[in-house]
Chain A
Amino acid sequence: MSRQRSATTTLQRRISVIAIAAAAAAVISVAAYAATPVEIQKQRHEHYEQLGDAFKTVRDNSKGTPDYAALDKALAVIQKATENQQQWFPKGTGPEAGKTRALPEIWSKPDDFTAAQKLFTDKVGPLAAAVKARDVDAIGKAFREVGGSCKNCHDSFRAPE
């Protein structure tokens, strides 16, 4: 009994250590986010990598028998991106700040850029509906539309590799 209790205490202690560490990491990353344009570029890059990872999951599961748990997770990442993408491009984080494929047009043509971002958000709507409805064919169709909206923005606002 007492051994079990002490095991529980150790576990609780471990959890609280992890929680503190996680909180500290969050604070540090927020601090870094506010810190330098280069850091913002790096974070932005990571956001898009997560988005790429999520898109791959959707693509992999857009035919045959999808893994809906994976699709739900990927969709959550994509929807979060539609909500947050406006904040990923603060002024001063273009090519003048460091190596990035983000083109200056993002800041010189803000209306066009916002419209391109909005198109992405708009196209994610039907994808979310298709995933919710567990409709494979609709997922495939909606995914192609989302892919088109990515390309639309990249063609004008991302430098070629």
Chain B
Amino acid sequence: MAEPVINEGPATAPAPSVSPTRVWDLPTRLVHWSFVIGVAFSWWTAETARMEWHRWGGYALLGVVLFRLYWGFVGGSTARFGNFVRGPRAIGSYLRGAWQATPGHNPLGALSVLALLGLLLLQVVLGLFAVDVDGIESGPLSLYVSFDTGRACAEWHETVFSVLQALILLHIVAVLYYLLFKRQNLIGTMVTGKRVFDAEMAPMTPASTVKLLVGVVLAAALTYAVSQAFQF
């Protein structure tokens, strides 16, 4: 009987005076969508045995992961680990619904970020040392390990990918849950970098372009060195 209130629609929308708040800087968003493309590409090239392309996909992902780790220390405020990784108490209060939404990851989402990033790094590193069953195809760093170790890395490379797939699925389910049940479009925010909050909020603080360039050069240089097995 009291239900019709729901149909008020526009009246419950935020007041027009509340403008979108900046949540994610451009590098963080580019990193996110690069992961989507990179993982999909690597999956496809592995399934279709395009190993030369698979190595390129791995290098690209390695570069992006390294940059994201760097950005986690010097990047925009919402990208920094020190700002969004929180303890169990914060996670508990978030789960009880007692968490005040602010621009950036919530305490539970922070765990997802750490897990996904950590697994991605592990996966790429395993690939660098992996050797195929015939000893014909291999990651660039496999020359530092034996055939048997390289084979073990290849098997772990497969196992970790399954775990990564499961976590990505969980991530997608969580994002859809927010979209459908909590009426919060996280995907749009990851595209535009902005979100409309119920009230005016202090936006994220971006990092300087110099820091961005330093990070890109560092990540690219290290990735290149790895791809050459540190032999020049």
Contact = CB atoms under 8 A, between A and B. Distances in A.
Most buried by B among A53, A57, A151: A53
Nearest to A65: B231
Interface residues on B, range: 10 to 19
A100 to B, nearest CB: 13
A56 B133 CA distance: 10
Interface stretch (B56-64, B135-143, B176-184): B135-143
Most buried by B among A56, A57, A64: A56
A56 B231 contact: no
A46 interface: no
Contact of B135 (A59, A63, A64, A161): A59
Contacts of B136: 52, 55, 59, 147, 150-151
B3 interface: no
B23 interface: no
Interface string B114-154: 00000000000000000111111010001100011011000
A59 B142 CA distance: 10
Interface in B197-232: 231
B136 to A, nearest CB: 4
Given A56-B142, A56-B147, A56-B150, A51 B135 contact: yes
Interface of A: 48-49, 51-57, 59-60, 63-64, 147, 150-151, 154, 161
